[in-house]
Structure 1
Amino acid sequence: MSVAWSLAEDSKPESKRAKVENRPALSFTNEDKAGTIQLHDDALVVTLRIGGYNVKRVLVDQGSGAEIMYPDLYNRLGLKPEDLATYDSPLLSFDEKVVVSRGQIRLPVQVGSEVVEVDFIIVDAYSPYTAIVARPWLHALGAVSSTLHLKVKYLFGDRTEELVGSQSVTR
């Protein structure tokens, strides 16, 4: 277990005292590789509950700053153009082409008991994924991802929870 330090007020306003808070560390070990085929360079692809539906083939991309939703999922969720807010910043796709968005929508993304509101940008482009969750989602969840271990770990209360990727879906 790691120890986090924070300052706590004593009864006297000018006095400060260190308060020790025990929280589990978010880390990965060789045991976390169990169930994966090693050596690999597979993407971290998971199933998430988005907008109340279980959604497969969601890419966790810690290198991206934008959460993306592709047309297949947009249509399956029954979203309509009037559900979207305007989003007019250009985006670059994986092949470095400029992609114009349809708009943006905020939807709840649930992992276990944790729910995070995510602003998805809807794009008209082909992808083997239904959506991409990125750094903003990881940061809001307080999570750490590992493509080597094909897992996302996050704290829930005083426990470490994990979301396990699907190597077979990735391949």
Structure 2
Amino acid sequence: MVLADQGSGAEIMYPDLFKGLKLRPEDLACYDSPLIGFDGKIVFPKGQIRLPVQAGSEIMEVNFIMVDAYSPYTAIVARPWLYAIEAVSFTLHLKVKYLSRDQVEELVGSQSMARQCLVAAIRH
């Protein structure tokens, strides 16, 4: 469950994805700039890691900032990633469209999954 957030300026990775990829703390590079979470609280990152991300047929290296905080999402991809693949995000329709090899590709989200994430975030 990845959130494509046009309002964020950094790609974020949460503990579930970090553990799921079998990454270790020593895999992280130093990143010491604090972030402000959605709840307005300051979050201190554990580090940064560069990983390949595949969207459709496109693979791109992305710098993720690893934070040890609760999120119903496993990661957030933000403006840098959206700009890099020259994507257009349609939040109302939960779609991201981008040009790849002379054709338009589309990533489609799930309305029910988006609702579940919202409810989980509110309950937390």
| Alignment correspondent of 2:81 | 137
Distance in 1, Cα, partners of 2:61 & 2:83: 12
Deviation at 1:150, TM superposition (A): 1.1
C-alpha RMSD of the superposition: 0.7
Distance in 2, Cα, partners of 1:129 & 1:120: 14
| Alignment correspondent of 1:70 | 14
| Alignment correspondent of 2:64 | 120
Residue 162 of structure 1 pairs with residue 99 of structure 2: no
What TM-score does the superposition give when structure 2 sets the normalisation length?
A: 0.90
Deviations 1:61-119 (A, max 9, x none): 01000100001110111001111100010100001111011100000110111011110
Aligned length: 115
More helix, by proportion = 2
Distance in 2, Cα, partners of 1:103 & 1:158: 37
Q: Aligned residues: percent identity?
A: 74
| Alignment correspondent of 1:80 | 24
Distance in 2, Cα, partners of 1:143 & 1:100: 29
SS in structure 2 opposite 1:152?
strand
Distance in 2, Cα, partners of 1:109 & 1:168: 24
Runs of 4 or more above 6 Å deviation: none
Equivalence map 1:42-53=2 (5 Å):
none
Gaps of 5+ in 2: 116-124
Give the greater-gyration-radius structure (CA).
1
Distance in 1, Cα, partners of 2:55 & 2:45: 26
Gaps of 5+ in 1: 1-56
What TM-score does the superposition give when structure 1 sets the normalisation length?
A: 0.66
